[in-house]
Chain A
Amino acid sequence: MAATAVGVVFSHTHEENVPELVHRRTMASIPYGGRYRIIDFALSNMVNSGITTVGLSANNNYRSLVDHIGSGKDWDLARKDGGLILLPPFSENSEMYDNTRMEAIASLTGFLTRRNEKYVVLYDCDAVAKFDISDIINAHEKKDADITIVTRKGIVEKTHDYLLVDADESGRIYEAKKVDRGITKGEATVSLGIMVFNRKFLLNLVNDSIAHGFRSFSKDVIIKQLSNLRIFSYNFEGYYAGIDSVSAYFKHNMELLQKDVRDELFSGRDIYTKVRDSAPSKYGAEAEVKNSLVSDGCEIEGTVENSILFRGVRVGKGSVVRNSIVMQDSVISEGASIDCVITDKNVVITSKRHLAGCESLPYIIQKGKHL
């Protein structure tokens, strides 16, 4: 059976929300949950829904993304037809260079014209959740929609650049509002940045929009055309971890220590990620590990509590890691301690250093730092 949809993942949405984490990488390649990067959830959602062609829209600093993705084989996306296709910035007009979503979508037309899947799924890679994309496409088909926008009802955690919508009982969106900056109080329905289109319809829409000189996809295309287009919302009620700020990143990672959250994200289907062939993790005779996630390749001799250890982390004798996220290959040397700290990759905390942040403001240590 041929796949019915082609996916497009935007790897750099909302990076301004977490500048500390995207210093040298894209939003999509932020490490998450011990052995993943955010994009693993997006790609796994697509692959698990039968999508075999995914365009990966990248803008800047995408080296870490390319390093992570490789040929796409770890996601089963190294294919003769389709598979994972990197879409670096491209513009026929050199002055336009992917600064807006409109431009980013416009630069996809070549890629989308050459595909023959019926649908396109545009996917902002700024959250961790388990979406059943085939179900979203089914809803799109059933409602004969032009555009289906995945939404979530509740307290809006986003702070800027988001779309609020109002839908009638059938799910048809009759009103939408773009919020450039600011918090929305109370309950509202917010777009999660995942949209389904008929591929040919999207191509026409983009060509028309370019001809009209539209600049904003949400303001000029969606909001202005609510009455003449059939735009529907698909309400998502599952677990959703939006990476809207560093504290949200910290909080959502820690939620993985809850069994029900892990079960929802991981059970019943696979989350694919880059294979590193690390050895299984080793726990020493004096290790004290409680309520923590530990990835492969770790060597633990000290104390670890309420924390998430990425691959290849070493915790020395007598050292204490509490309420922290320790990324790949970092070393907490003997007698050192950290509390409410996020260490990026390859950080070394030298012996007997003590560092602490707090839950709302975790102390972030940049990649490769020796402290």
Chain B
Amino acid sequence: MQRKKECVAMLLAGGQGSRLYALTTNIAKPAVAFGAKYRIIDFPLSNCINSGIDTVGVLTQYQPLILNEYIGNGQPWDLDRTFGGVHILSPYQAKARSSWYEGTANAIYQNMHFMKMYDPEYVLILSGDHIYKMDYAAMLKAHKETGADCTIAAINVPLSEASRFGILNTNTDGSIYQFEEKPKVPKSTLASMGIYIFTAKKLFDYLEADDANPNSSKDFGKDVLPAMLNAGEKMFSYRFEGYWKDVGTISSLWEANMDLLGENPVFDVSDKSWKIHSRNPLAPPECIGETGVVKNSMIALGCEIDGVVENSVLGSNVIVEKGAIVKDAVILANSVVRSGAVVSYSIVDENVEIGANAVVGVPKDPSAEIVVLGRGITVKDGVKVSEGQKHENDIKM
């Protein structure tokens, strides 16, 4: 058997996602639920398998339990392999030193031996923070064609947002002459997507050098990429035109969910040529009852809808009782909306119970703010939860 993989993917999944507040109290950001039945990490993992990349290291650090359990042996993504497949890489103790992952580059550096096991020609670095469908094989092809040492996937962003990203300044052939991490005055609107393909040998050399550099913050964007550019390595941008959404904030996560709705959705997860694989809930078909009304919504298996659901995305086994109204909301698996309750413009985490006649949030309008109810909490009957509130504990009054 061939004991070699041309390309190994390394998925950075250790992020806390602190701007998601209660949604990431107990779980890592890549494990956050999205689109009724998915979790964020389904997208990069599905992209990998759909691109023919069958060896993926998932680097975890922050609250890894649910993520580890979710990934399991990788079978839902067809990533259970005798050679290759998906592997969880957590920080570990070693003879010389033991430490947490200190930065993105350090996390990859600490797993050098994992990558080297597969003797790869190329290494693909991914993050578990984005919703998108992308053919990494096409990017790898471009990397080979340009003969680059490093290829960075890039997307055009609005000028007003450009200073939130790593910005690539490129020549007409796509080669990068300058890389600016979160510039105050951006020179271009071409933003790094945090997706890199490295020629493996170069990556290993630069990671060694970065680790030896006491002044480095051990980050790809801040340290490794600038170091490569300064040394005159061949670096190219790879333009991506499709849908790509950072779901790092409450409002972007809400928007990304809404992007799935409508006759011609902004983002289509039902495309059979690029299936998004996930660990499927074991649940019967959803039941829309005699009094149920469902409009412009996405509903996962096992839901029981006897109330009104509009412009919303509901995870598996959600119950909406008779007389309850759910509008412009994202409700995650196993939550219950009791009769007479009204939920508007909110993100409700898993296993939340919203009591009878409770009012959560206000009707959506440009000035309104999204309510967030954290995992497993109970909202007492008749309680009013004002717009923009974020709760991690039961709400009694």
Contact = CB atoms under 8 A, between A and B. Distances in A.
B296 interface: yes
Contact of A262 (B275, B282, B287): B287
Contacts of B299: 280-281, 283, 294
A271 B263 CA distance: 32
A279 B304 CA distance: 18
Given A272-B282, A292-B287, A297 B270 contact: yes
B286 A281 contact: yes
Given A35-B301, A301-B263, A279 B285 contact: no
Contact of B287 (A257, A275, A299): A257
A250 B231 CA distance: 72
B298 interface: yes
Given A34-B284, A294-B299, A284 B289 contact: no
Given A284-B263, A296-B37, A299-B270, A279 B276 contact: yes
Contacts of B313: 280
A73 interface: yes
A285 B35 CA distance: 18
Given A34-B285, A291-B288, A294-B286, A277 B275 contact: yes
Interface string A277-316: 1111111111101111111110101001000110000000
Contacts of B285: 33-35, 293-296, 308-309
A35 B300 contact: no
A281 B298 contact: yes
Interface string A13-54: 000000000000000000001110000000000000000000
B288 A290 contact: yes
B76 A275 contact: yes
A294 B295 contact: no
B353 to A, nearest CB: 17
A290 B292 contact: yes
A295 B277 contact: no
Contacts of B76: 275, 277
B387 to A, nearest CB: 25
A287 B295 CA distance: 6
B296 A277 contact: no
A266 interface: yes
A132 interface: no
Contacts of B261: 282
Per DSSP, chain A at the interface is: loop
B290 interface: yes
A31 to B, nearest CB: 12
Contacts of A260: none
Interface string B261-294: 1110000011000011110101111111110101
Per DSSP, chain B at the interface is: loop
A293 B294 contact: no
A161 interface: no
A290 B293 CA distance: 7
B37 A280 contact: yes
A259 B76 CA distance: 30
A294 to B, nearest CB: 5
A283 B284 contact: no
A282 B300 CA distance: 9
Interface residues of B, number: 36
Given A277-B277, A309-B285, A295 B301 contact: yes
Contact of B294 (A289, A295, A309): A289
A175 interface: no
Contacts of B289: 290-291
A283 B294 contact: yes
A296 B35 CA distance: 13
Interface string A245-265: 000000000001101001001
A270 interface: yes
B249 interface: no
Contact of B286 (A73, A285, A293): A293
Nearest to B313: A280
A317 to B, nearest CB: 9
A256 to B, nearest CB: 8
A221 B277 CA distance: 50
B55 interface: no
Contact of A293 (B269, B280, B284, B295): B284
A266 B283 CA distance: 8
Contacts of A281: 286, 298-299
B301 A296 contact: yes
Nearest to A297: B270
Contacts of B292: 289-290
Contacts of A257: 287
A289 B294 CA distance: 7
A105 to B, nearest CB: 32
A35 B278 CA distance: 17
Nearest to B316: A280
Nearest to B294: A283
B254 to A, nearest CB: 17
B75 interface: yes
Given A266-B284, A290-B289, A308-B285, A285 B296 contact: yes
Contacts of B154: none
Contact of B35 (A275, A277, A280, A286): A280
A192 B296 CA distance: 45
Select the residue from A275, A279, A292, A296 with max chain B CB neighbours within 10 A: A279
A367 B292 CA distance: 31
A73 to B, nearest CB: 7
A263 B277 CA distance: 28
B36 interface: yes
Interface string A174-207: 0000000000000000000000000000000000
Given A33-B285, A285-B295, A277 B301 contact: no
B284 A33 contact: yes
A68 to B, nearest CB: 15
A128 to B, nearest CB: 12
B298 A280 contact: yes
30 contacts: A33-B284, A35-B301, A73-B75, A262-B284, A266-B283, A275-B76, A277-B277, A277-B278, A279-B269, A279-B276, A280-B299, A282-B297, A283-B297, A283-B299, A284-B295, A285-B262, A285-B295, A286-B295, A287-B294, A289-B292, A289-B294, A290-B289, A290-B292, A294-B286, A294-B287, A294-B299, A295-B301, A296-B301, A299-B270, A301-B263
Given A281-B286, A283-B297, A295-B286, 7 more contacts: A34-B285, A279-B37, A280-B298, A280-B300, A292-B288, A295-B301, A296-B285
Q: Which 7 A-B pairs have the closest CB atoms?
A: A34-B285, A280-B36, A279-B270, A270-B282, A293-B285, A295-B285, A289-B288
